[in-house]
Amino acid sequence: MPIRPADASDLPQIAALIRELADYEEMAGEVVFDIERLERELFGPEPAAHVLLAETDDGRVAGMALWFRTFSTFLGRSGIWLEDLFVRPEHRRHGHGLALLERLRDMTDGRVEWIVLDWNTPAQELYDRLGARPVPGWTRYRWLREDPS
């Protein structure tokens, strides 16, 4: 199953995948990125994040994993934060999500961490089958600037 790092020529597909993910999560109104800034953040001289793309055998983009490096002081090593994992509905249950997760796991000897919406039981079932588990005792907080620009 083809998995490859995205490059700047993939930006239209990445933007479309982000919007499709937001639609799936019923959060389309929260997608406010500027395409030029997204390009700088993903493909500029110091990328803030990276994207892996899953492709079908005929080269169509089936899904993506958008991720960035983290660091654990307790482990003393880097890990990966999976910000977004999305496989287009018509390509689900063909192994693309699993292939993306396995590639991320192979890229670090530290943690791979992410969050999942409470209602997304299909994703939770996949994560459980992999042996991933929720982290008990931790609550996620978010602090945003009033003007995100």
Q: Which CA distances in Å does 137 have to 12, 134, 140?
A: 39, 10, 10
In the chain, the domains with their CATH numbers are 3-114 (3.40.630.30)
Catalytic pick among 3, 10, 85, 127: 127
Q: How far apart are CA 120 and CA 126, in angstroms?
A: 10
Segment 51-73, tens digit of pLDDT = 999 999 999 999 999 999 999 99
pTM over 0.85: yes
Give percent of the chain above pLDDT 70: 98
Looking at residue 120, the DSSP 8-state letter turns out to be -
Mean pLDDT of 79-83: 97
Q: What's phi and psi for 87, nearest 5 deg?
A: -120, 130
Q: Active-site residue 127, yes or no?
A: yes
Mean pLDDT of 72-101: 96
Q: How far apart are CA 95 and CA 110, in angstroms?
A: 23
